[in-house]
């Protein structure tokens, strides 16, 4: 008789401790943050440091209460109360906001729990950001408050089975009807989908003319959307799904981009989305390295700490050099985006075409760099730390899971290269 492997996989074993108590204690979140602050503090303003201090104090308190046997969604209201579902846009009393604040939020949350950070980013940024840029109706204001307070969950439903990288040529159909728009079709890889109350959805009136007819709208589950969960082992506590529009009618008040405008909204939204993902990727990088550095300074083999072997310390130095440099570049891009795009839009002014183009290029470049670096850093740290890092005894294993999807979400490696190669060809026009 054959073995029932599915049952074996589903029957999770309890945590068995192999890490020495003293090392585990030193790897606590408070110490990881302490080392991170030492590396990053000089890159922050006084206000940013104050924001990080408060956020870290909250996370240090919260960390021991996280149950890794359950999904992440129960954590949303706790973080919503503190304004930690997103920090791209000022909301309620949480005025310290912008792309750099959002990166700082993503980094610190990913160092605590990278799976939670992935889910809150999908809800707060991918679904929530358009309510700031293209909202304004009382209905959309309500959605915004519910998403950002963490009482409701949101997602973005853009990718389809036949259209991933080629998302613009989507098949989902939108038809104008009395009082709104009818949405038909199916989306896949919807992060948070199976748990979502709100879906930032897309479809086209004329499939042959997506640029001229794409619609963007806030769909809600109670309109009749249904979802199925996909099994994605890398992030077991995040629900990622297949979403069916089921021919629901979305009222005018929930439309964030009318036919044609939806296309521009989709592309404008990609820039802050990618920059936010950069924050999470860098959080994964820092988490991996700093946990690895603490462990390797305490773990003895052949009579001395493994960090004393160049085979361990040199690769860690190499990672630290690259992660530190990527962090400085990311902060710089975030500052440029805040000053030249986000704050300009918030004042109701027009962003210059040069800045619009440059921010699209910079966000793609830094997303490409940091997503790849996250996967590399997580994997390399595991090799440098040894066996304990692939068990549930440290947070390195969980972080590694999330690192493995950073390159594919928010625009894959190939598409980032495609955008850049287009620019390479255009460069000749300057000569």
Of positions 191, 213, 280, 363, contacts ligand FAD by CB under 6 A: 191
Least separation in angstroms between residue 128's CB and ligand FAD is: 13
With respect to ligand FAD, which residue has the nearer C-beta, 172 or 384?
Answer: 172
Of positions 50, 74, 176, 414, contacts ligand FAD by CB under 6 A: 414
Least separation in angstroms between residue 377's CB and ligand FAD is: 19
With respect to ligand FAD, which residue has the nearer C-beta, 100 or 187?
Answer: 187
Least separation in angstroms between residue 34's CB and ligand FAD is: 32
With respect to ligand FAD, which residue has the nearer C-beta, 134 or 239?
Answer: 239
Is 344 a binding residue for ligand FAD by CB under 6 A? The answer is no
With respect to ligand FAD, which residue has the nearer C-beta, 39 or 365?
Answer: 365
Of positions 86, 133, 190, 256, contacts ligand FAD by CB under 6 A: 190
For ligand FAD, the binding residues in 345-364 under the rule CB under 6 A are: none
Q: Would you state the structure tokens that stand for residue 150, as one six-digit string?
A: 């963490």
With respect to ligand FAD, which residue has the nearer C-beta, 90 or 164?
Answer: 164
- Between the two ends of the chain, the Cα-to-Cα distance in Å is 72
Single out the segment in contact with ligand FAD by CB under 6 A; choices: 80-88, 185-193, 276-284, 342-350: 185-193
With contacts defined by CB under 6 A, how many residues of the chain interact with ligand FAD? 21
Least separation in angstroms between residue 417's CB and ligand FAD is: 6
Least separation in angstroms between residue 415's CB and ligand FAD is: 5
For ligand FAD, the binding residues in 83-122 under the rule CB under 6 A are: 122
CA dist 17 and 300 (Å) reads 18
Least separation in angstroms between residue 161's CB and ligand FAD is: 8
Binding characters for ligand FAD, 239-278, by CB under 6 A (x = yes): -x--------------------------------------
For ligand FAD, the binding residues in 117-176 under the rule CB under 6 A are: 122, 155-159, 164-165
Of positions 44, 223, 408, 419, contacts ligand FAD by CB under 6 A: 408
Residues that bind ligand FAD (CB under 6 A): 122, 155-159, 164-165, 189-191, 232, 240, 405, 408-409, 412-415, 418
């Amino acid at each position: 008789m054959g073995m029932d492997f599915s049952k074996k996989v589903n029957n999770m074993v309890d945590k068995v401790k192999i890490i020495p108590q003293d090392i585990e204690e030193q790897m606590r979140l408070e110490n990881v943050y302490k080392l991170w602050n030492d590396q990053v503090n000089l890159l922050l303003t006084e206000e940013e440091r104050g924001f990080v201090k408060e956020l870290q104090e909250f996370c240090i308190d919260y960390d021991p209460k996280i149950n890794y046997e359950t999904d992440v969604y129960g954590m949303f209201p706790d973080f919503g109360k503190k304004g930690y579902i997103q920090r791209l846009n000022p909301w309620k009393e949480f005025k310290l906001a912008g792309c750099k604040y959002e990166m700082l939020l993503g980094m610190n949350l990913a160092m605590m729990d990278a799976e939670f950070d992935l889910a809150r980013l999908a809800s707060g940024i991918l679904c929530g950001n358009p309510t700031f840029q293209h909202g304004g109706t009382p209905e959309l204001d309500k959605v915004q408050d519910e998403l950002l307070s963490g009482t409701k969950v949101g997602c973005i439903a853009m990718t389809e089975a036949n259209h991933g990288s080629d998302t613009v040529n989507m098949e989902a159909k939108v038809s104008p009807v009395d009082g709104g728009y009818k949405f038909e079709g199916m989306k896949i890889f919807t992060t948070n989908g199976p748990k979502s109350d709100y879906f930032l959805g897309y479809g086209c009136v004329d499939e042959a003319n997506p640029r001229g007819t794409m619609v963007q709208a806030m769909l809600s589950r109670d309109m009749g959307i249904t979802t199925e969960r996909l099994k994605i082992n890398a992030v077991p506590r995040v629900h990622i799904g297949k979403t069916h529009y089921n021919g629901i009618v979305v009222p005018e008040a929930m439309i964030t981009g009318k036919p044609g405008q939806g296309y521009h909204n989709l592309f404008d939204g990609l820039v802050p989305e990618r920059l936010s993902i950069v924050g999470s990727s860098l959080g994964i990088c820092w988490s991996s390295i700093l946990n690895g550095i603490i462990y390797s300074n305490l773990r003895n083999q052949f009579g001395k700490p493994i960090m004393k072997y160049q085979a361990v310390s040199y690769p860690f130095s190499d990672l630290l050099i690259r992660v530190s440099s990527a962090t400085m570049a990311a902060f710089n891009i975030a500052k440029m985006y805040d000053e030249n795009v986000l704050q300009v839009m918030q004042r109701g002014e027009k962003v210059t075409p040069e800045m619009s183009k440059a921010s699209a290029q910079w966000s793609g470049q830094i997303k490409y760099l940091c997503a790849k670096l996250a996967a590399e850093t997580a994997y390399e740290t595991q090799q440098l730390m040894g066996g304990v890092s692939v068990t549930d005894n440290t947070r390195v294993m969980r972080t590694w899971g999330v690192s493995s999807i950073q390159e594919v979400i928010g625009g894959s490696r190939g598409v980032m290269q495609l955008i850049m190669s287009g620019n390479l060809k255009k460069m000749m026009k300057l000569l």
